[in-house]
Amino acid sequence: MAEGKREKAAEKSCAADEKKGSPQGGGAADQEHLKKIPDPLLNWYTGNRRILPWREDPAPYRVWISEIMLQQTRVEAGKAYFQRFVKELPDVEALANADDELLMKLWEGLGYYNRARNLKKAAGVMMERYGGRLPASYEELLELPGIGPYTAGAIGSIAFGIVRPAVDGNVLRVVSRILARKDDIAKASVKKKIEAELQAVMPQDRPGDFNQALMELGAIVCLPNGAPKCEECPVAELCRARQAGIQEELPVKKPKKERRTEEKTVLILMDERGRMALSRRHSRGLLSGLWELPSFEGRLSEIEVRQRLEGKGIPCGEIRPAGQAKHIFSHVEWHMIGYQVRTETGSGSQSEGCCGGRDEGQNQGRGGDRDAGCSDDPVGSWDAGRGGALHIAEEPAVYLRDVEERRRREAEAREDSAEFSAETLIFAGERELADVYAVPSAFRGFREFFPGGGR
């Protein structure tokens, strides 16, 4: 669920939480204690903050992109993604008009792709209502797709100097330890209470720095899942949890529900030109609308894979194991077994695909023919009208028409079924995989078998 919807839904549950009992602690004593925090915290932040691209140039657009990008991404990993994104889409207008394939490619590897979709939706709203700019209002920011109280507080305070707290997991942990509270921070009522308490102590002249300082403290000093670095903490003398020796016990958070497990058989399906098959996922649900490696539910043997493919009218040659991989989503784990499969298109060309070729010493599984992924290679599609033979568009204009036709057939084929078919497969070479098609990180465990080794 997108951050905006999740946080807005959480607000609705707050009243129900409060009926069950007020959060622990609170009152005038805690409020007075928190008033002692800003000065030492800001002094520490001034001398110890990390140098980050969105901090050095905190333009509203850049702050917005960074905050959305970092919701589920580590800061160090996010820097390169951020630089690439703002170079390609430098402003609201460029984002609003971005091709969906380009947007997904820029987001490839970050996961939670609805964040990117909501960025584009919000950019469209800004073009219509605010002249291509982010609104300098907390309430108007909240109305944008993908933006909830935390993100609105962060953007508003950092980019516009609006005095609003930005309470994320780092901040909840820091405040819980400073006040030695044992409230369940997963409850909406607890988060709302901390937001109100921080609102009352925020410095009017540096709200953005105050929010960033709290988040920075939680990210690099007041660490989760282990011993915090209390000896480096600028507010250690004010930390009640440290004084009581319970800092490693806090914060309290109700365990998440156990994730379900799904078994999948993933296919690295290569044609005779060394290109790899992709299939677009259903328009709803997990990884909706993204390109993926074709797969079957369950853990299949090589014989079962061949039977399933030929049952779909997809002829195949040699099949080889491609190892196993696991990917963890928030609510489900994929346990995957992979196979390299060479298609037999009946074109009569010399095979240099993933499961054979003239030189057995080459990197098998990497598309034997090193020229197969060159930029002028068109993307192929299965043509049902030719009995499953691979149809290649040789002219650019024909290729573009083929893309549109393929997408139309694909949408029709996906209407009633989430599983791939011969009609929905496309074949992409190394250059297309690098520049055009975004393959989710869920399949990262099989990248060594992609054309060019998945570089």
Q: Which of 249, 269, 298 is the last residue of a domain?
A: 249
Which residue did the predictor score with more confidence, 348 or 48?
48
How many helices and strands, by DSSP H and E, does the chain display?
18, 9
Which residue did the predictor score with more confidence, 195 or 452?
195
360 and 379 both lie in a single domain: yes
Beta bridge partners of 428: 276
Instruction: Using pLDDT thresholds of 50, 70 and 90, give the confidence band for residue 53.
Output: very high
Q: Is 140 a catalytic residue?
A: no
Structure-token pair, residue 47: 């001398």
CA distance 330 to 72: 11
Question: What pLDDT, on a 0 to 100 scale, did the predictor assign at position 404?
Answer: 55
For the chain, the first-to-last Cα distance in angstroms comes to 31
Report the predicted TM-score, pTM, of the whole model to 2 decimal places: 0.72
155 and 74 both lie in a single domain: yes
Task: Answer yes or no: is 254 within a domain.
Answer: no
108 and 220 both lie in a single domain: yes
Task: Answer yes or no: is 106 within a domain.
Answer: yes
pLDDT in tens, 210-250: 999 999 999 999 999 878 999 999 999 999 999 999 999 99
DSSP per-residue string spanning 186-247:
TSHHHHHHHHHHHHHH--TT-HHHHHHHHHHHHHHTS-SSS---GGG-TTGGG-HHHHHT-G
Instruction: With a cut of 50, say whether residue 10 has pLDDT above it.
Output: no
Task: Answer yes or no: is 120 within a domain.
Answer: yes
Residue 269 sits in a domain of what CATH number? 3.90.79
The active-site residue out of 3, 67, 216, 410 is 67
CA distance 190 to 378: 55
Count: domains in the chain: 2
442 and 381 both lie in a single domain: yes
Is there a contact between 244 and 325 (Cβ–Cβ < 8 Å)?
Answer: no
31 and 144 both lie in a single domain: yes
243 and 267 both lie in a single domain: no
Residue 179 sits in a domain of what CATH number? 1.10.340.30
**How high is the mean pLDDT of the chain?**
82
144 and 111 both lie in a single domain: yes
Task: Answer yes or no: is 255 within a domain.
Answer: no
Task: Answer yes or no: is 114 within a domain.
Answer: yes
Instruction: Using pLDDT thresholds of 50, 70 and 90, give the confidence band for residue 345.
Output: low
Question: What pLDDT, on a 0 to 100 scale, did the predictor assign at position 287?
Answer: 84
Question: What pLDDT, on a 0 to 100 scale, did the predictor assign at position 254?
Answer: 87
240 and 355 both lie in a single domain: no
220 and 264 both lie in a single domain: no
Question: What pLDDT, on a 0 to 100 scale, did the predictor assign at position 160?
Answer: 98
Share of the chain above pLDDT 90, in %: 63
Provide the domain limits for residue 403: 260-454
Structure-token pair, residue 57: 């140039």
Question: What pLDDT, on a 0 to 100 scale, did the predictor assign at position 228?
Answer: 96
Q: Which of 188, 223, 249 is the last residue of a domain?
A: 249
Which of 31-35, 377-381, 406-410 has the lowest average pLDDT? 377-381
CA 415 to chain centre: 25
Is there a contact between 342 and 318 (Cβ–Cβ < 8 Å)?
Answer: yes
Which of 23-27, 131-135, 170-174, 311-315 has the lowest average pLDDT? 23-27
208 and 304 both lie in a single domain: no
pLDDT in tens, 93-135: 999 999 999 999 999 989 889 999 999 999 999 999 999 999 9
Task: Judge residue 49's burial from the number of C-beta atoms within 10 Å of its C-beta, 0-12 exposed, 13-18 middle, 19 or more buried.
Answer: middle
237 and 268 both lie in a single domain: no
Q: Which of 225, 249, 273 is the last residue of a domain?
A: 249
Instruction: With a cut of 60, say whether residue 398 has pLDDT above it.
Output: no
Question: What pLDDT, on a 0 to 100 scale, did the predictor assign at position 420?
Answer: 84
304 and 346 both lie in a single domain: yes
